[in-house]
Structure 1
């Protein structure tokens, strides 16, 4: 069991409320704490990256460089609570004009970390957009302190996870529709 779940549940609840407020302050529409057992990881998810995303292999936070579904399952098993962060509707996940999800998730992870949750780790939405061009040819990230993989890059079934948390998410039928995007911060 996580060290923080052994602590006062009242403190944890207060902190989670504070983290939700911070997420909204940073530009999220909503944020809800979830049990990590609600996070669904499926091997097929990365097929959507490999056969459907033009950024596959072009960002150091994307597959094949991101954690595999098996690695992510092991990581998720070390946590019990996460914060699911809702953004949207967005212009395009990974390339937002209104709110940069990658920056918000980084700032939120940092805030949670400095609140004493030293294992906090964020997962964004879509390909990393922190640099105009990824430094992939040199083989190292220019912003490793900020860059985080997306949930889907790690095999997380975002649709199933979001539905487990009580949100609705639908498949878009037209490029004219704007997606609702989600990020995740593993808390404790």
Structure 2
């Protein structure tokens, strides 16, 4: 991906920054899974895209490392209260929509769309996930998991992209990733 295209997407979609990096630059910390298990977001065992249904940390890491590259998107958003869960949920949804729109632009520009997104929050395509009712996911091919479920160290991610990361009383940074360029097009990891 050329820098000019990334700069256009950043400007057009409202991101603070975007960068392309190797998946080898991602740092996975399996111990981060405990944050999902503590269920602070309320989605553990209640969303098909969240643990335990999303896969083990090892399985999720292997899923990412089956690809060579990723685009990292960063948004910087002013907030009234960084600890207001309702406000944060709304802002994560907005960042997700920006990422999905950026992916549409990338596809229009001819980018390989055989990859998948990793978002800043849980899958939210449906108002309410079907998982608690035992019904199948109605948007399985579009479902996405978050950076926390993948156990990706967002601080190290920001560092590898030369991006800031902070949570202050009046500003937050969100990150999402589009993983692409499969190592072996047959589906096997070499």
TM class by shorter chain equals 0.7 to 0.9
The secondary structure found in structure 1 opposite 2:138 is coil
Deviation larger for 103-112 or 75-84? 103-112
Residue 32 of structure 1: aligned partner: 19
Higher normalized strand content (fraction of residues): 2
Gaps of 5+ in 2: 80-86, 182-190
Distance apart, 1:184 and its partner CA: 0.4
TM-score (norm 1): 0.76
Deviation larger for 84-93 or 176-185? 84-93
Residue 115 of structure 2: aligned partner: 120
The secondary structure found in structure 1 opposite 2:145 is coil
- Matched-pair contact (CA < 8 Å) for 1:93–1:126: no
Give CA deviations for 1:125-167 in whole Å, capped at 9, x if unaligned. 1122332211212342233343311111111111222222212
Gaps of 5+ in 1: 1-11
Give CA deviations for 1:103-141 in whole Å, capped at 9, x if unaligned. 222333344345141422111111223322112123422
- Matched-pair contact (CA < 8 Å) for 1:95–1:129: no
- Number of equivalent positions: 171
Taking a change above 3 Å as real, the CA distance of residues 104 and 23 of structure 1, as seen in their structure-2 partners, is same
- Matched-pair contact (CA < 8 Å) for 2:122–2:145: yes
Taking a change above 3 Å as real, the CA distance of residues 103 and 142 of structure 1, as seen in their structure-2 partners, is farther
- Matched-pair contact (CA < 8 Å) for 1:94–1:102: no
In 2, Cα distance between equivalents of 1:72 and 1:20: 29
In 1, Cα distance between equivalents of 2:7 and 2:137: 29
Residue 84 of structure 2: aligned partner: none
In 2, Cα distance between equivalents of 1:124 and 1:93: 14
Taking a change above 3 Å as real, the CA distance of residues 139 and 46 of structure 1, as seen in their structure-2 partners, is farther
